[in-house]
Amino acid sequence: MRCFSVGSHMVDWAELPESDYLSCSIGSALAGQIGVFGYKPSVLMDMLAGKRAEVVTEVLAYIRTFHGDSFSNDLKTALEPIRVKDLQKVDPKRGGIPKPSKPVMNFNRDELKGLPFKFPEKIVREVVYRQMLEVQCFIQMTFPIELKAPNVMEDIQFIGFISNLLETKIARVLQCNHGEIHSVNVSAYLGCSRLSRTDALRGEIAIKLSCAPDSPWRLVDLSLKEIVRLQEEGPSEEDVSTMLESEEKAHEMALKENGYWLEQIMRGYLSRSYTGDLHASLKDQDEWRNTVRSSLTRLTTESALRRILPSPCTKQYTAVVLMPKQPIFQRFKSSLFGAGKRSSMEEK
Query: Do 194 and 13 form a contact (C-beta atoms < 8 A)?
Result: no
The class that CATH gives domain 124-324 is alpha beta
pLDDT on residue 272: 79
Work out the number of other CB atoms within 10 angstroms of the CB of residue 299.
Answer: 11
DSSP 318-342: EEEEEEEPPPHHHHHHHHHHHHHHH
pLDDT on residue 2: 62
pLDDT on residue 345: 46
Short-list 163, 179, 183, 182, CA closest to 227? 163
Short-list 301, 303, 259, CA closest to 164? 301
Domain boundaries, the chain: 2-111, 124-324
The answer to whether the bond into 103 is cis (omega within 30° of 0) is no
pLDDT on residue 23: 80
- What lies within 8 Å, CB to CB, of 28 at 6+ separation is 57, 58, 59
Pairing of strands 53-59, 2-10: unpaired
Short-list 143, 151, 198, CA closest to 312? 143
Label each residue of 160-193 as H, E or C. Answer: HHHHHHHHHHHHHHHHHHHCCEEEEEEEEECCCC
The answer to whether the bond into 312 is cis (omega within 30° of 0) is yes
pLDDT on residue 308: 95
3: three-class secondary structure by DSSP: strand
Dist. CA 107–CA 103, nearest whole Å: 9
Work out the number of other CB atoms within 10 angstroms of the CB of residue 181.
Answer: 20
- What lies within 8 Å, CB to CB, of 34 at 6+ separation is 40, 41
Q: What is the pLDDT of residues 250-300, one digit of tens each?
A: 999 999 887 788 888 888 887 878 877 888 988 998 999 999 999 999 999
Q: Where are the alpha helices (DSSP H) in the chain?
A: 21-25, 27-34, 41-48, 75-79, 152-171, 216-233, 237-254, 258-270, 278-295, 298-308, 328-347
pLDDT on residue 346: 44
Q: Which residues pair with 96 in a beta bridge?
A: 91
Q: How far is CA 231 from CA 92, 98, 198, 287, 301, in A?
A: 52, 51, 28, 27, 9
User: In what helix (H) or strand (E) does residue 5 lie, and over which residues does it extend?
Assistant: strand 2-10
Within a 13 Å sphere around the CA of 316, how many CA atoms are in the beta-carbon half? 14
List of the chain residues with pLDDT < 50: 342, 345-346, 348
Q: What is the pLDDT of residues 83-134, one digit of tens each?
A: 555 555 555 555 555 666 766 556 567 777 777 778 998 999 999 998 887 7
Pairing of strands 318-324, 124-130: parallel
Q: Which residues pair with 58 in a beta bridge?
A: 65
